[in-house]
Structure formats: C-alpha cells, structure tokens
A and B are shown apart, each in its own frame.
Chain A
Amino acid sequence: MVELDSVMLSRMLTAMTLIFHIIFATIGVGVPVMISIAELIGIKKKDRYYSLMAKRWARGFTIIVAVGVVTGTAIGLQLSLLWPSFMQLAGKVIALPLFMETFAFFFEAIFLGAYLYTWDRFKNPMTHWWLSIPIIIGGTLSAFFITTVNAFMNTPAGFNMEDGVINAINPIAAMFNPATPTKVFHVVSSAYMASAAILATIAAVTYLVKRDQEYAKRALKLTVTATLVFSISTAIAGDLSAKFLAEHQPEKLAAGEWHFETEEGADLVLFGTLGEDNEINGAIRLPNMLSFLAYGDFNAEVTGLDQIPDDEEPPLWIHYFFDLMVSIGMFVLGITFLYVLMTYIKRWNPHNKWMIWALTSIGPLSMLAIEFGWIYAEIGRQPWILRGFMTVAEGATTSPHVGAMFLLFFLLYFVLGVGTLVVLRKMFKNHPAEIELEHLYKEVDKGGER
C-alpha cells in the first residue's frame, strides 16, 4: 500500500493536472495548423465548404483553448506550489525556456484574439489567413519551449553542481540538452497527428449520422490525409526517441521493454504480463528487434536493468503504456494509409461503412496514445525529478494540505470537463454545416446537395 504523504499527493495532483491539461494543450498546438490549411484551401479553390470548415473548427477551438489556458496557468503555478525545492534549484537553469514559453503564449494569445474576431473584416481574405500563421508559430513554439524544460529534467545539462551548489550555468546548453531534439520532434508531431485525427473522427461521425455529407467528405479527405502525414513523422520521431533512450536513459528503455539482462541481440517484448520474480508470460518476442530499434543493428548490446541500481529502477508497469502507445500509433498509421490509398483507386469506395467506423476511432485513440506516451516518459524517469540530481521526494512541498487541494482540483477538472463537452455539443448539434453554409452564403446553389 502506498502511503499518501505530501510527496505522493503532490505527484498525484501534478499528474492529474497534466493528464487533463495535455488533452487541451495538444489540440491547442495542432488544430490551428488544420484551421489554417482548411482556410487556405477554401480561399485558393474558392470552395466555401473549406472556408466553413475553418470557421467551424475555429469556433470549437476557442472553447478548447480557454480550458487549455486556465489549466496551463494551473500547472505553471503548481510547479512552484507543489515542487518548491525543485523550482528553487532548477529555476536557475531552466528559467529561460519557461520565460520564453510565456512569450510564445503571449504572441499566440494576441493573434488568436485578432484572428477570431476578424473573419469578415478584410477585403482580401488572405489578410485574415495570414493572421493564422502567428497562432501556429506561437502554439508550436510554446510546445517547443516547454518540452525543452521536460527534456532537461530527463537529461540535465548546462550546469555544474558541487556540494549541492549550482555553478557554471549555460542556459542555452540546458535548453538544448540531449533529450530536446527527439522530445520536441515527437511532441509536436504527435500533437499535429492527434489534432488531425480528432477532426477526422468528428468528420467521420458527421458522415455516419448522414448529415452534411458533402461537407463531411471534404473534411475527411483533408483530415485523414493530414493524420497520415503526421503519423508517419510521429513514427519516425518515435524511432529516434528509442535510439535516444538507448544511449542516454537506458533504464527507461529497459523498464519499458522488460529487458532485464544486458545482452547483444536483444529481443523486443510485445505485450505479455509480468509474473512474480519477473518472469514474462504470454508475450510476443521479436528476436533481435530491440537491438535494431535501439541502435539500428540487430546485434548491438542493449543495457538491461541489471546495470541499474535497484533504487533507481523505474516501475516495470510502464511496459504496458509503451506497448499501447506504439500499437495505437501503428493502427492509426495503417487505417489512414488505407483510406488515402482507397481514394486513389477508382474501384474502391473509401467511404464504406467499415472504413468510416474505423476512422471514428482514430481521434480518441490518438489522444489516449499521447496520454500513454507521457505516462511512459514521466514514470520512466522515476525516482528522479531531475535525473541524477534530485529525487521526486526531495523536490516536493512539505505542506500538509496537498490532499485537500487534490480534491479541490479534481472537482475543478470535473466541472471544466463536463462544461466543455456540454458547450461543444450545444455549439454544433443544432447547427449543421449545410444550414450554416446556406445561411452564410445565400447565393450558394441550394439544390441537390442534401
């Protein structure tokens, strides 16, 4: 039984805030890209369906951004409230990216307001489209900066520590620590992928309930193609991340892969369960694949958990999360590939029932994969908060009131979550795209499309 002390409660509260925030943050980074693409296609092709798509997505997006902003504010403050000793130490080294993240956020906030309230204000529609670019830049840069902070916690760099005193700080080296490139690539790419996939799910559901099918077909084509492109880049980023882990954080890879003994030609363990004494049951073993995954060489030596001191070993249950994340990624990649393939082969109907049903699943699944991936990444560096320098227990607050705050925030996230769903539903349920299109563009030919 785990003891519910301040440390454990601080971990739980931070985890809860992040798990909730990530949903909104991910969409916040990725959806502007999709809005911008749809608006551009709408302008270039003079296709009002795409312009409407951009508008509808933007309207839903504002609700998501609002919750993203407030939960982001929460995690920003909670860092200092729950982990004061950690912030006192690490603040000296990572203040720069934290600070710059707020700049990026500021930049995005300014142009988001400008974008949302100027749809019909300019004579040239391209002027309005240009306003979407700073939103994308701001959102993606926020993701970049905040990911460098997390990367730093995994592979601290850019300072020296002697007897608990930090000196010789190099803020740039801390920001561009070894984990930064792969982490940023993976985070940004998967955020784009999940956002496109969520919009694809919405389009697929719209199509399934037999409403606005012209609109839904176009939305599907755009979102599924985008999901495919982004899931390919996410897969590449994932592969690079595995190679990074093998080199810099072998304990995380080993725990995730249940790789106990250091050996050459290591097997990849898929699924399975772990019995007592760490024997693996019911797993699929792919011979030598772990070595290949880690080093691009089937016979390379992969560090096992035997090389890691027992008290620095991450929990072994992260294996399930690693497997789930990768499986979902592969599934989404496969399904979107199939859909895109079918749209190019005349005889096949990409809008058959099975395909549409499968596509309804990719949004929620991609979001789950992002949560699983973060759980794997975060639990995989336990017991460290600053790998090699500070354990989680040393960083936590000593306040006795964390438990009450956990309940308070649980209630808050519950209300926000329900509120978001209710408002989004209200916003779209009684306002189908076709009607909105007719309403917006009276001159549009109304015949034959419904």
Chain B
Amino acid sequence: MGYEYIGITVLWLFLYGYLIVASVDFGAGFFAYYARITKKDHIMNKLISRYLSPVWEVTNVFFVFFFVGLVGFFPDMAYFFGQALLIPGSIAIVLIAIRGSFYAFESYGSKNNSVYMFLYGATGLFIPASLSTALTISEGGFLNVTESGVRLEFGELLLNPYSWSVVFLAIVSVLYISSMFLTYYADRADDADALSLVRKYALFWSIPTIIASMTVFIALSQHNPEHFNRMFDYWWMFGLSVLFYLITVFLVYSEKLYGWAFISVMFQFFFAFFGYGASKLPYLLYPHVTISESVTPDAMGLALVIAFIAGLLLLLPSLALLMRMFLFDADYIKGKK
C-alpha cells in the first residue's frame, strides 16, 4: 500500500472524527437556542455546558488536522481547492471564528446573552452547510479550470440539486447525531427531564436523516454517474449503515441502552462515510485530481506517516484521559465535581 492510501485513510478518519464531535457541538448549539425560545433552557443548558466546555477546543483541532493533513499529503489539493474555495472557505472560517470565540465569551464572560445564543445556534447549522460545499465540489462539475486559474461556478452550485441534497443531509445529520449524544449524556446524568426532551429530538431527527441519505444517493446518480456506479462495489457498507440506523432508532425508541445506541450512531456514519469515501477513489477532485498523481513525494509521505503514528501515541492516551474525566465520570456529569 502506498503512502497515498495510508494518507487518505488517516485524513478520512480525522474527517469522520470531526463529523462526529463537531455534530455534537453544532447540534447542541442549535438545541440550546431552541430550548431557550421554547422556554426549556433550564433543562438543557447545564447538561450541554458541562460536556462542551472542556472539549470545544479539541473539536476544532480535528478540523485543522484534516485540512493541514490534506495539504500535506496532497499538495495539489491546495492549488485547486485554494483557488476555488476562497469565498465558501472564508465564510466557514468567519462562522467558526464567531462560534468558537463567542462560546468562550459566553461561558466565561457574560452569561445568558440572547444574541450570543442566537449566533451560537445559527452558526451551528451554517458551518456544516458551508463546509459540505467542499465535498460537493469534489464530485466535479463546478470548477472552471483554465491556464489562468481555477474558478468556482457559483450559479451552477446554487442551482444544482446535488449540492442542495448534501447541504440538507449535513444539517439533519448534525441534529440527529447531536440529539442522540445528548440523549446518552442526559441518561448518564440521571436527568429525567432532559432525557425525555432530547429523546424526542433524537427520534424526530432520525426521520429526515434517512430521507436525506436517500436523496443524496439519487442526486449523485444524476450528477456523477461514474461515482454512483462505483458505490455498488461497496453496497455492503451502505447496507451495514442502514442496519445500524435501525438498531439505533429501535434502542432509543424502546428507551434502553442509550450508550450502545450512540455507538450504533457512530457505526452508522462510519460505514456510510467510508463507503462514500472509498467509492470516490481514485478521484479526490473529479476529474482534476487523483490520489496517485497528487500525492506528496515519498520522503515527505514517509515522514508524515511516522509523525502521525508518533502523534497518535501521544494523543490517544491524552484523549482517553480527557474522556474519563469529563465524558465517563458519572460524578462529573451529574454535576457533583
């Protein structure tokens, strides 16, 4: 296996990690705001802030890691995506910046400011929408590549059913993953009020999630039939994804094993995300960038892989420590520490 496959697997894992932790974060912002306007914030807010405060910075790192690694392993991506994505990329940065800093301002500075809450909730939905643009573009058909540079065809992007189906999927997935996590967390905290509230959210958002997944399939078959056909080589991965979806909904519906239900959510997205990723190959950016042509020279590829392994040896124990302190420490979750 060449470095390019190790590289893309590593990157995809980090993007997957970001998908999960960021969804929890983004969705929580939305629910916090929604709870406030429906006057249920007293139930929700403590739960959310106890989980989010220690980890919000870690969430951001997953994202930074992905794009730094992408440029590192595949420098050509910097050229194409960099030129094309100036506007959506900048908007995403601004949203992330507002969200991250306002979160800190709100939780350490002035409490309970409605404007903050609104921005926090709204950016939680706009960020996944703007970030998903990058994935849409990678399916091809939106770039005008000439000698003088790369241009994004905005009109094309805005009128395309595929791009909208991806945005829709991104938003509902965020709400689905987040509510599933909060259900688990509320259960751990023995917080019956919060549990009954977020459990309703979770069941509600499971419906648009499955619809959106199907819509994306159909839209992709129109937009990039070649990719769509390759997806059938990985049909079993998508099948497993649906199976885990059913398990999740069943568990949450029958009000038991919320921890397993969330793990099942993670598997559901794992298989869908990796099935999608694997079937994309060999293209990183259809049809301009393929995985083997754009890969960084061997010496750098090797160095990156070594750095990655060394980094993991450092990170995994630290992450485990963080999770033990804040995620799985029952006393902490219940607010006793």
Interface residues of A (CB under 8 A from B): 59, 62-63, 65-67, 69-74, 76-85, 87-89, 91-93, 95-96, 98-103, 105-107, 109-114, 116-118, 121, 134, 166-167, 169-172, 397-399, 401-402, 404-405, 408-409, 412, 415-416, 419-420, 422-424, 426-427
Q: Is the interface of A mostly helix, strand, loop or mixed?
A: helix
A171, closest chain B residue (CB):
B303
Identify B83's interface contact among A95, A96, A166, A398, CB under 8 A: A398
Report chain A residues within 8 Å CB of B93: 73-74, 77-78
* Nearest-neighbor residue (CB-CB) of A60 within chain B: B108
Question: Chain A residues near B71 (CB, 8 Å)?
Answer: 79-80, 87, 91, 95, 98
Let me know if B90 and A408 touch, CB within 8 A: yes
Looking at the assembled complex, report how far the CB atom of A180 sits from the nearest CB atom of chain B, in whole angstroms: 16
Tell yes or no: B53 within 8 A of A by CB.
yes
Q: Are B296 and A92 within 8 A (Cβ)?
A: yes
B2 interface residue per 8 A CB criterion: no
Q: A88-B75, A105-B64 are in contact. Are A80 and B105 (CB under 8 A)?
A: no
Quick check: is B335 within 8 A (CB to CB) of the other chain?
no
In chain B, what residue has the closest Cβ to A170? B299
A121 to B332, CA, bound (A): 10
Is A89 a contact partner of B75 (Cβ separation < 8 A)? yes
Against A, the Cβ 8 Å flags (1 = close, 0 = not) of B170-198 are 00000000000000000000000000000
In the complex with contacts A83-B82, A84-B78, A107-B314, A423-B105 CB distance below 8 A: yes
B72 touches A91 (CB 8 A): yes
Determine whether the beta carbon of B54 is less than 8 Å from that of A116. yes
Digitize B203-241: 1 where CB-to-A-CB distance is under 8 Å, 0 elsewhere.
Answer: 000000000000000000000000000000000000000
B243 contacts A by Cβ under 8 Å? no
Residue of A nearest to B321 (CB): A114
Pick the 6 closest A-B CB pairs, nearest first.
Answer: A95-B72, A84-B82, A66-B104, A398-B149, A423-B109, A91-B75
User: Known: A80-B78, A81-B90. Contact between A74 and B97, CB under 8 A?
Assistant: yes
B148 at the A/B interface (Cβ < 8 Å)?
yes
Closest Cβ of chain A to B102, distance in Å, is 7
Are A84 and B110 closer than 8 Å at their CB atoms? Answer: no
With both beta carbons as reference points, the residue of chain B lying nearest to A116 in the complex is identified as: B54
One of B55-63, B161-169, B275-283 contacting the partner: B55-63
Inter-chain contact B109/A63, CB cutoff 8 Å: yes
Docked CA distance A239–B136 (Å):
52
CB-contact partner of B82 in A105, A110, A170, A397, under 8 A? A397
Indicate whether A70 sits within 8 Å of B101 (C-beta atoms), given known contacts A80-B71, A117-B54: yes
Bound CA span A78–B67, Å: 11
Once A77-B89, A98-B72 are accepted as A-B contacts, the answer to whether A416 and B101 lie under 8 Å apart by CB is yes
**B319 lies within 8 A of chain A by Cβ:** yes
- Confirm or deny: B79 has a beta carbon within 8 angstroms of a beta carbon on chain A: yes
Distance in angstroms between the alpha carbons of A397 and B81 in the assembled complex: 11
> Are A171 and B104 CB-contacts (below 8 A) given A73-B96, A118-B325?
no
Nearest-CB residue, chain B, relative to A101:
B68
Find chain B residues with CB under 8 A from A118 CB: 325
- B322 touching A110 by the CB < 8 A rule? yes
Smallest distance from the beta carbon of A126 to chain B beta carbons, Å?
17
**Whole-angstrom distance from the CB of B297 to the nearest CB of chain A?**
5
Assuming A69-B57, A87-B82, what are 8 further A-B pairs, CB within 8 angstroms? A82-B82, A102-B69, A103-B311, A105-B64, A121-B337, A167-B297, A405-B87, A405-B90
Kindly state the separation between the CA atoms of A398 and B63 in the bound complex, as whole angstroms: 26
Chain A residues in 8 Å Cβ range of B57: 65-66, 69, 109, 112-113
* Bound Cα distance from A309 to B53, whole angstroms: 55
Find chain B residues with CB under 8 A from A170 CB. Answer: 299
Interface majority SS on B: helix, strand, loop or mixed? helix
Cβ A169 vs Cβ B297 within 8 A: yes
Q: Which residues of B contact A412 (CB under 8 A)?
A: 94, 97-98
* Cα(A423)–Cα(B106), bound, Å: 9
Q: How far is the CA of A402 from the CA of B89 in the complex (A)?
A: 12
Residues of A within 8 A of B150 (CB): 398
Contact of B97 among A70, A111, A113, A166 (CB under 8 A): A70
Q: Is B4 part of the binding interface, using a Cβ–Cβ cutoff of 8 Å?
A: no
- Report the minimum CB–CB distance from B167 to chain A (whole Å): 20
A78, A81, A121: which has the most chain B beta carbons within 10 Å? Answer: A81
Cα distance A144–B120 in the bound complex, in angstroms: 33
Known contacts A88-B75, A172-B303; A73 and B311 CB within 8 A of each other: no
Residues of A within 8 A of B90 (CB): 78, 81, 405, 408-409
**CA–CA, A419 and B63, complex, Å:** 24
Interchain CA distance A118-B63 in the complex, whole Å: 26
Q: Do A73 and B104 form a contact, CB below 8 Å, given A408-B90, A409-B90?
A: no
- The answer to whether B69 and A99 have CB atoms under 8 Å apart is yes
**Cβ-defined partner of A95 (8 Å) among B55, B101, B300:** B300
**Contact call A87/B79, Cβ cutoff below 8 A:** yes
A–B complex contacts, Cβ < 8 Å, 16 sampled? A59-B108, A62-B108, A66-B101, A70-B60, A73-B93, A78-B93, A82-B86, A91-B71, A95-B73, A99-B308, A102-B69, A106-B315, A109-B57, A117-B326, A121-B337, A398-B148
Query: Given A62-B104, A88-B75, do A73 and B81 touch, yes or no (CB 8 Å)?
Result: no
Interface string of B90-127 (1 = CB under 8 A from A): 11111011101111110011100000000000000000
Instruction: Name the distance in Å between B226's Cβ and chain A's nearest Cβ.
Output: 26
Do B89 and A81 touch across chains, with their CB atoms under 8 A apart?
Answer: yes
CB distance A77 to B303 under 8 Å? Answer: no
Is A419 in contact with B322, judged by CB distance below 8 angstroms?
Answer: no
B25 within 8 A of A: no
- Does B250 have its Cβ within 8 Å of any Cβ on chain A? no
Q: Which residues of B contact A98 (CB under 8 A)?
A: 68, 71-72
Q: A99-B308, A103-B314 are in contact. Are A88 and B79 (CB under 8 A)?
A: yes
The answer for the CA separation of A427 and B104 in the assembled complex, in Å, is 12
Which chain A positions have C-beta within 8 A of B299?
Answer: 169-171
Q: Which residues of chain B are near A76, meaning CB under 8 Å?
A: 64, 67-68
Task: Determine if A93 and B105 form an interchain contact, defined as CB atoms under 8 angstroms apart.
Answer: no
Docked Cα-Cα span, A81 to B93, in Å, equals 11
Identify the closest chain A residue to B93 (Cβ). A74
B263 sits at the interface (CB 8 A) = no
Q: Which of B69, B82, B315 has the most CB of A within 10 A?
A: B82
- Most chain A CB within a 10 A radius of its CB, from B94, B104, B322: B104
Q: How many whole Å from B156's CB to the nearest CB in chain A?
A: 16
- If A69-B57, A81-B89, A117-B54 touch, whether A99 touches B321 (CB-CB below 8 Å) is no
Q: For B81, give the chain A residue with the smallest CB separation.
A: A80
Chain A nearest CB: distance from B234 CB in Å? 29
Interface assignment of B43: CB less than 8 Å from any CB of chain A: no
B48 is an interface residue with CB less than 8 A from chain A: no
B9, CB-defined interface residue at 8 Å = no
Contact of A427 among B58, B76, B109, B318 (CB under 8 A): B109
B304 in the interface (beta carbon within 8 A): yes
Q: B65 on the interface (CB 8 Å rule)?
A: yes
With contact pairs A84-B78, A114-B321 given, residues A401 and B86 touching in the complex (Cβ less than 8 Å): yes
Of all chain A residues, which has the CB nearest B55?
A113
Given the known A-B contacts A76-B67, A80-B71, A110-B319, are A92 and B97 also in contact in the complex, defined by CB atoms under 8 Å? no
